[in-house]
Structure 1
Amino acid sequence: MSHASTLNHIHSTINQKLADVESRIERVKTAKKEIEKEHETGIVEIRQILHPHLNSHWTGDFASDFDDERDEAHTSMYNIVNGKYEGYISQLERKISRWKLKSTALNWREQQLKRRIIYSLSGKKRLIS
């Protein structure tokens, strides 16, 4: 295998990896958007849990039990929406950042390889480092 064909093979491999990384970035971005949408929906639902407000005419054990259970539901929902969803979103943002860094590195390698291929094809015997 000639030097130029070896470099072309490496170039092709880098391009395949780059396409894979870009695909992964898009999938993670899509997942992040879906979770953000669920997060927004959850925030709206949290606000609705405490409505309607119980007025002074609604009293007794049943009213107290209902209000206590509604408060528990509100607290649980709040913890899920403002804790877990935000944690998931942060994890996805970190994944996107890592994949973008990998993409940048692959792009840099591709540019370096292109320089080597051009130099190699120009008939020079020594590679640019």
Structure 2
Amino acid sequence: MSYSDILYSLSQTISSQSADVDEKISRLKKAKKDLVNEQHAVENEWEKILDPDLGQSWTGNRADHFDKARRGAKKEIEQTFQEEVEQYTSQIQQKINLLEMQRESLRVASYLSHEAGGLLHKGEEAYAAIEHKFTEIRKRLL
């Protein structure tokens, strides 16, 4: 296999992995945005848990107990939902951060492959430098 074949293969791998990482980042960002939008929609619905307002039409111990239980349920739902949304958004952001680091590594690998291409055109005296660039590129791809 010639150096130009190796360089072509590495460039294709970099391109493919870059596209894959970009797609994953895009999907995760959309999922995070959708999750936040859903959180806002649910928050707007929480008040309906307390509907109808019992007001003066229903009084006594049973009414007080029922109203207290209803408010407790609302508080529990709010707290649980907020904790879960925060956990999910945090996990999504961590994955995005890891993928962005991977994308940056692929950018470096792409730069190195362009340098190797330039060396390849210089001829045999540059073969040692090309082999070194290939080694650096492979490290970035792992």
TM-score, reference length from structure 1: 0.87
RMSD: 1.9
Aligned to 1:71: 71
Moved more, 59-68 or 23-32: 59-68
SS of 1:125's partner is helix
Moved more, 40-49 or 74-83: 40-49
**Which sections of structure 1, spanning at least 5 residues, go unmatched?**
none
Whether the 8 Å CA contact 1:21–1:102 is kept in 2: the answer is: yes
Identical residues among aligned pairs (%): 29
Aligned to 1:44: 44
Does residue 103 in structure 1 map to residue 103 in structure 2? Answer: yes
Moved more, 65-74 or 101-110: 65-74
1:47-104 Cα offsets, whole Å, 9 max, x none, are 4433555434531244224312311321222112321111111111111111111001
Structure having the higher helix fraction is 2
Aligned to 2:25: 25
Aligned to 2:113: 113
1:112 positional shift: 0.9
Distance 1:124 1:30 in 2: 49
Whether the 8 Å CA contact 1:43–1:81 is kept in 2: the answer is: no
Aligned to 2:58: 58
- The amino acid of 2:42's aligned partner reads G
Distance 1:125 1:10 in 2: 21
Moved more, 75-84 or 19-28: 75-84
Aligned to 1:15: 15
SS of 1:59's partner is coil
- The amino acid of 1:23's aligned partner reads E
Structure 1's consecutive aligned runs of 4 or more residues displaced over 6 angstroms after TM superposition are: none
TM-score, reference length from structure 2: 0.80
**Which sections of structure 2, spanning at least 5 residues, go unmatched?**
134-142
